[in-house]
């Protein structure tokens, strides 16, 4: 599907020069002299190489046709993730890099959304928030309840996160899977 260069957004997958590229950053620029353009930073989905390309505002680009499939995350095997289609019970193995930084928040039996292009998985999206347990938490410092103070804690998957002073070891909390920040108590 052809789209105008002005409609390129972060996260989109474009077909450019015979390859699939995921848009990492966009910047619309209107110089004082000459026409406006979109400066687009893209990452090749297959090789992982990055490139910066300028598209004139009048140009059109090919947006890749994507299908979204709900799948269940089963387990991790080194750098591979094993997923199952709940409708057909077919299992697939994909590279953990498809989930990016969010891979550390995967939990067994979690439903994830897999982006497919021509029946090949090219991206995994986790739910916006998940529930984790706190295994360790620093002691709250007396007198710091007046302001919004945070302390160090360790989630049950071993990741370090910042939590409010009232959260203790053994508590369950909700976190944002995009950046690993505290949302609320579970």
Sheet strand arrangement including 19-29: 2-4, 60-63, 13-16, 19-29, 37-44, 50-56
pLDDT score of 134? 93
pLDDT score of 1? 85
Where residue 114 falls among pLDDT bands split at 50, 70, 90?
A: very high
Whether 146 has a pLDDT exceeding 60, the answer reads: no
CA-based end-to-end distance of the chain: 42
Per the structure block, which two tokens stand in for 100? 């990016």
Whether 148 has a pLDDT exceeding 80, the answer reads: no
Domains 2-63 and 67-125 share a fold: no
Please choose, from the candidates 24, 5, 32, 119, the residue with its C-alpha nearest in 3D space to the C-alpha of residue 69.
Answer: 119
CATH class of residue range 67-125: mainly beta
* Whole-structure pTM value: 0.74
Where residue 120 falls among pLDDT bands split at 50, 70, 90?
A: confident
In the chain, domain spans: 2-63, 67-125, 129-185
Tell me how far the alpha carbon of residue 73 is from its chain's centroid: 15
Whether 6 has a pLDDT exceeding 80, the answer reads: yes
Rounded to whole angstroms, the Cα distance separating 48 from 56 reads: 25
Q: How buried is 148 (Cβ within 10 angstroms: 0-12 exposed, 13-18 middle, 19+ buried)?
A: exposed
CATH class of residue range 129-185: mainly beta
Rounded to whole angstroms, the Cα distance separating 10 from 44 reads: 14
What are the backbone dihedrals phi and psi of residue 124, each rounded to the nearest 5 degrees, phi first? -130, 130
> What fold, for 2-63?
SH3 type barrels. (2.30.30)
pLDDT score of 82? 95
Rounded to whole angstroms, the Cα distance separating 38 from 83 reads: 37
């Amino acid at each position: 599907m052809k789209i105008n260069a002005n409609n390129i957004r972060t996260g989109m997958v474009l077909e450019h020069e015979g390859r699939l590229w995921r848009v990492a950053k966009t910047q619309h620029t209107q110089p004082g002299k000459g026409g406006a353009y979109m400066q687009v930073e893209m990452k090749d989905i297959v090789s992982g190489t990055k490139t910066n390309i300028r598209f004139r505002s009048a140009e059109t680009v090919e947006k890749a046709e994507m299908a979204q499939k709900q799948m269940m995350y089963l387990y991790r095997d080194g750098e591979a993730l094993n997923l199952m289609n709940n409708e057909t019970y077919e299992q697939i193995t994909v590279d953990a890099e498809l989930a990016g930084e969010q891979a550390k928040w995967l939990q067994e039996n979690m439903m994830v959304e897999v982006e497919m292009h021509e029946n090949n998985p090219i991206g995994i999206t986790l739910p916006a928030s998940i529930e984790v347990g706190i295994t360790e938490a620093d002691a709250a410092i007396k007198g710091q309840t007046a302001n919004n103070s945070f302390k160090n804690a360790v989630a049950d998957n071993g990741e370090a996160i910042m939590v409010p002073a009232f959260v203790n070891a053994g508590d369950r909390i909700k976190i944002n899977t995009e950046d690993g920040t505290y949302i609320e108590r579970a």
